[in-house]
Structure 1
Amino acid sequence: MSGDLKASDAKVVSTEPLMIKDARWTKLVLTTYKDPTGKERTWESAERSTRPKDSPIDGVGIVAILQKPSGPELVLQKQFRPPINKVVIEVPAGLVDAGEGAAASAVRELKEETGYVGVAAEISPVMFNDAGFCNTNLNMVHVTVDMSLPENQNLKPELEENEFIEVFSTPLKDLYAECKKLESEGYAIDARVGTLAEGIELAKRWQL
């Protein structure tokens, strides 16, 4: 992000119905199916129209861990999301390109959005964000960032013209408390961040 621009400077100006012919990224569909009793029912949902033909996923979410002497920190972002008219706390993420695997996509997106150069270490099973509403899916990719490398000292994000992203990090062990604090300050918490925080808290509670 350039200058003093902040994600919180954005705001919704208006909202109106979108005709299918004018939609670039999504479409609404009506699915007819039979329930376990054989009764025919319908379901309204949305579909992404951007998934590459050779890809099993739409995109990636990135669990980028900064390796610091004080302990591991998670890379987070603040980004305004018009559908909820709020700044959302998210992990870096993005859509995959044609012919691109999840690991390569994660490393590329992390560099573009944050400037960090990392190495993909683990790829999750395919996950669905909200299967009752949309067919969007992704892999969560674990990426480690070596903070001793020169390229991770002077970060140079490569944001697109319409991207206004604030990057920060928080100690992994404090993620749940950080989510609570950020919510109290008016931020929305992305489900991927919240679920990761919940997982860490459960591991602490049950001594896993």
Structure 2
Amino acid sequence: MSAASKVLSTEPLLESEAVWTKLVKKTYTDPNGVKRTWESAERRTRPKGCDIDGVGIVAILDSETGPEIVLQKQYRPPLDQVVIEIPAGLIDEGETAEQAAIRELKEETGYVGEVLETSPIMWNDPGFCNTNLRMVHVSVDMSLPANQDLKPELEENEFIEVFHLKLATLWDDCIKLEAQGYAIDARIANIAEGIEIAKKYRL
């Protein structure tokens, strides 16, 4: 699977070859009126008139031993590592965040879900790029026949391994997965850390 993937070379990307992103230099004034510059990246793929680039999907399965979250293992060339992620994807023109979430969940994992709620717009790394998303919370009814016989619809360049972990031990499992050599996506880590904070402060 994707664990066999590896980066073969790294070189500068010419502006004329860039399909997904572009580098920009912004000139701005700070609170003291001093003119400064900032280097950042921007996506080229956000649909016209849309306020987000994509969605992240918090898909929860109800099991006899407690709720579990649907996760993925996927090789990511920028890190040259397999990353533990939630299902996610770019939004298509004319789609709502909710529609994109249901579509991406089915395509990447095979699961059919029902939207529960949608987050405010979240910015992935605002010091570096303008990429943003909404997190869509989805419940997965395991009694549905479609969720018994999963049929993901992966593109030819997608190699995704789907698994799930218990929410109650997600933080500890992230630590174990990192020790095994996996990279942990910040969205997973934030969910796990939030659960631990809620436990500590009895929220």
Per the TM superposition, whether the score is higher than 0.5 is yes
Q: Does 1:96 align with 2:91?
A: yes
Cα distance in structure 2, aligned partners of 1:7 and 1:116: 21
Please report the TM-score for the alignment, with normalisation by the length of structure 2: 0.99
The Cα shift of 1:69 comes to: 2.0
How far apart are the structure 1 equivalents of 2:97 and 2:142? 23
- The 10-residue stretch of structure 1 (68-77 or 45-54) with the greater mean CA deviation from structure 2: 68-77
Provide the C-alpha distance between the structure 2 equivalents of 1:118 and 1:89, rounded to a whole number of angstroms. 20
Moved over 2 A (4+): none
Matched residues in 2 for 1:8 and 1:129: separation? 25
AA aligned opposite 1:71: G
Distance 2:158 2:79 in 1: 17
Taking structure 1 as the reference length, what is the TM-score of the superposition? 0.97
> For structure 2, which runs of at least 5 residues remain unmatched after alignment?
none
Q: After TM superposition, give the deviation of residue 71 of structure 1 in Å.
A: 1.2
2:131 is aligned with 1:136: yes
Equivalent residue number for residue 46 of structure 2: 51
Matches within 5 A, 1:153-164: 153-164=148-159
| Matched residue type, 1:93 | A
Query: How much does 1:28 deviate?
Result: 0.2
- Paired with 1:53 and 1:12, the residues of 2 have a C-alpha distance of 33
For residues 16-165 of structure 1, the aligned pairs below 5 Å read 16-165=11-160
Offset of 1:180 from its aligned partner?
0.3
- Counterpart in the other structure of 1:203: 198
Superposed CA RMSD: 0.5
Choose which of 178, 183, 188 in structure 2 pairs with 1:188.
183
* Equivalent position SS for 1:41: strand
Q: Partners of 2:49 and 2:172 in 1: how far apart?
A: 40
Offset from partner CA, 1:119-171 (integer Å, 9 cap, x none): 01110010000000000000000000000111100100000000000000001
> Percent of counterpart pairs with the same letter?
67
Structure 1: segments with no counterpart, 5+ residues:
1-5
